[in-house]
Amino acid sequence: MISLGGAEPKPRWSLRLTAAATVAVLVTGVLVDKLAQLQVTDGSRLAALAQANTIHRVVLEADRGIIYDRHGSPLVENSPVWSLAVTPAGLLSEPMDRAQELIELARISGVAEEKLAAQLFAADPFESVIVKTNLTQAAELAINERLPELPGASIVQRSVRNYRDPLVFGHVVGYVGPIDPAEQKRLEGLGYQPDEMVGKVGVEAGLESSLRGSDGWADVEVDARGRVTRTLAIQPPVPGHALYLSLDAALQKATAASLAAGLVRDQKTAGASVVIDPRTGEVLAMVSIPGYDTNLFTHGISQAAYNRLLNDPDRPLLNRAIAGQYAPGSTFKMVTATAGLQEGKITAQTLLSCPPYINVSGWIYHNWASYSLGQMNVAKALATSCDTFFYQVASMVGDVTLARYARAFGFGQAQAIEMPGVAAGLVPDHIWKQIHCGVPDLNSDECRWSEGDTITFGIGQSYLLTTPLNQAVYVATLANGGHLLRPTLVHEVRDANGHVLPKQAEVAANVPASADTIQAVREGMREEINPPYHMNYWFRASGVPSDGGGKTGTAQWGGSGLDLPTHAWFVFFAPYSQSEISLSVFVERGELSEVEAAPIGVDIMKFYRNNVGTIRSA
């Protein structure tokens, strides 16, 4: 400053100096007014903006629960994947430097430069944007090394599901994938992040809430470059529950191998098998062939690969074990037998004929044999699978009662098993037919339930549909003396601290049948697999004791008449008393159940018997 001197002269305020002072005061007044407006009137709003600039809530993703088999062998693991994230505000600020940095980022990430720039321009400058996912480990290392020269860029690590043996376990375990737009609202309401993975299929979907865990968060202060300067508050994530499936991994593999071998042997391409414990309802094995590589989905499946799966005539995406609906054929005869016995239409000793056909109001209904098998009781009728015997019983019982017994054995109900997409099957009766005939005239042939509908219902045809899972539940009910169990895929659930969580009740209902009735039906199943019947051959050939009960079924489908295509079934339980295993085997387009389906079941049994010690170990 320049100091001005003078011996105490009197200030001489000229007009112009006064004017200058006045202007200065007025202009300062304008500044103060604007300052007050910013700092007082708009103060809290701008302070909130400053807060939003600098304080970010970061989601700390919870680890998804691991899925194991019943003995703790992992069926999926969480593997790390790396993504390149960029915070636009953190990039170099000089236009030239920024352009250079973008070129460099595009080069190392392999994303086209224009695409990268467009992505960043559209984003909130203070939020990090994932510009490239699934970096290879080499790329991750290379980028990590260069991060100091690339302000604003960072590597984000997430975990991705990596499924073991997906062709064997895939249909049960399922997979996770990005949230569908249709589900977005609901899931975001539950606290899901838009880019989170959610269970789509199998127990990954069925037990989503248990597996997911709860995300934590951290409130962090970030600087203008997007770097975290400090953590203000933190809520750690809680990992999802560890899920011990009821599956025995070894038995599952053996079941898949037996089924696959059987299909190959008979030049078939699709089938399913479900093995459950008739004491608990636990599913020990559940296989649907063909399977598919569920890992394709977690890493982002290509449209071409997805189309290939969709258009495959063998429909690999269909889990036949729970969602394939087929006529049960002769495997249904135990229901008809139970109904006839329990309703007093027949006794265990009642002898009925087994002619080559019967005539119902002018229509001919054949037995599988073109000759008479003579008089027989219900056990022998089951063992020989005499159709004409059961036509007569069904006719005596009637469609409505038969339907009631079918439902009591679990037919026509979607089992409450821990995965989505479980099909119910179908139990028909005359009312059902009237509702579903699709013709306005309820007295027309299409809508009228005929006696023929009733008697074919009695041998598992008519409109009846079931699933391999329902078949396994059904045979388990016969195995355990009439308790309809709720099938489950869960052996044990443990929370993050290792505590075992309680399970729900297992028995859903009891079949309204006396012990004697069930016993008479079981006797028929026991006879079928023992001499003099041919089925015993498979047991002898495999060295598996024929201690148990079985029933085959070759079900026609695709209309009515002779020479229709068929599916082959085999249901089985063992041992005969104190049964501990029951199973269903389904061979799509199988032509002869005794030859195609039964040996697969025996093969599975062989593995079970040889390995029962490890399968049943705690």
Partner 1 sequence: MIARIDRLQVLLVVMLAALGVMAVFSAHADWVRQVVWVLLGGAVYVAATFHDFRRLRALAPALYAGMLLMLIAVHLIGHTALGARRWLSVAGFPLEPSELSKLALVIVLAAYLSRTERMSWRVFAGALALFAAPAGLVLTQPDLGTTLVLVAVTFGVLFLAGARPAQLASLVAGGALALPLLPYFLRGYQRRRLEIFLDPSQDPLGAGYNLLQARIAVGSGGLFGRGWLHGLQGQLGFVPERATDFVFATFAEEFGLLGSLVLLTLFGTLLIRALRSATLSPDRFGELLAGGTFVMVFVQVVENVGMNIGLLPIAGIPLPLIS
Q: Using CB under 8 A as the criterion, which residues of the chain lie in contact with partner 1 when the complex forms?
A: 1-6, 9-14, 16-17, 19-21, 24-25, 27-28, 30-32, 34-36, 38-40, 42-47, 49-51, 53-54, 88-89, 93, 125, 221-225, 229
Q: Which is nearer to partner 1, 13 or 371 (CB)?
A: 13
CB atoms within 10 A of CB 141: 13
Q: At its nearest, how many Å lie between partner 1 and the CB of residue 7? A: 9
Closer residue to partner 1, CB minimum distance, 54 or 413: 54
Shortest distance in whole angstroms from residue 506 CB to partner 1? 59
Amino acid at 403: A
Task: Identify which of residues 11 and 313 has a Cβ nearer to partner 1 in the complex.
Answer: 11
What tokens does 254 get? 């053996």
- Closest approach, Cβ 107 to partner 1, in A, equals 22
- By beta-carbon proximity to partner 1, the closer residue of 31 and 304 is 31
| Cα dist from 101 to 90, 151, 375, whole Å | 11, 9, 91
Q: How far is the CB of 110 from partner 1 (least distance, A)?
A: 25
Please give the distance of CA 580 from its chain centroid, rounded to a whole number: 26
3-state SS class at 37: helix
Q: Which residue, 126 or 365, has its beta carbon nearer to partner 1? A: 126
Measured from the CB atom, the residue of 221 and 506 that comes closer to partner 1 is: 221
Q: Which is nearer to partner 1, 32 or 439 (CB)?
A: 32
The rounded distance, in Å, linking the Cα atoms of 387 and 93 is: 85
Report the Cα 43 to chain-centroid distance in Å.
Answer: 53
Q: Which of 315, 283, 290 is nearest to 469 (CA)?
A: 283
| 8 Å CB contact between 372 and 442 | no
Shortest distance in whole angstroms from residue 101 CB to partner 1:
14
Give the per-residue SS3 of 269-325: CCEEEEEECCCCCEEEEEEEECCCCCHHHHCCCCHHHHHHHHHCCCCCCCCHHHHCC
Other beta carbons within 10 Å of 522: 22
d(CA 351, CA 340): 13
Smallest gap from Cβ 119 to partner 1, in A, equals: 14
Q: Smallest distance from the beta carbon of 231 to partner 1, in angstroms?
A: 14
The per-residue b/e assignment along 253-269, b for 16 or more CB within 10 angstroms, e otherwise, is: bbbbebbbebbeebebb
Smallest distance from the beta carbon of 132 to partner 1, in angstroms? 21
- Judged by beta carbon, residue 52 or residue 501, the one nearer partner 1 is 52
Q: Least distance from C-beta 117 to partner 1, angstroms? A: 12
- Residue nearer to partner 1 on the CB measure, 12 or 185: 12
Helical residues (DSSP H) of 313-450, grouped into ranges: 320-323, 333-342, 378-384, 387-397, 399-408, 430-436
CA 209 to each of CA 230, 242, 247, 414, 476: distance values in angstroms, whole numbers, following the listed order: 32, 12, 20, 21, 29
Residue 6 vs 189, nearer CB to partner 1: 6
Q: Toward partner 1, which CB reaches closer, 15 or 138?
A: 15
- The type of residue at 467 is T
The residue type of 245 is L
What is d(CA 298, CA 355) in angstroms, rounded to the nearest whole number? 57
User: Minimum Å distance from CB 57 to partner 1?
Assistant: 16
How, if at all, do strands 242-245 and 67-68 pair? parallel
Q: How far is the CB of 12 from partner 1 (least distance, A)?
A: 5
Environment class of 20 (CB within 10 Å of its CB; exposed 0-12, middle 13-18, buried 19+): exposed
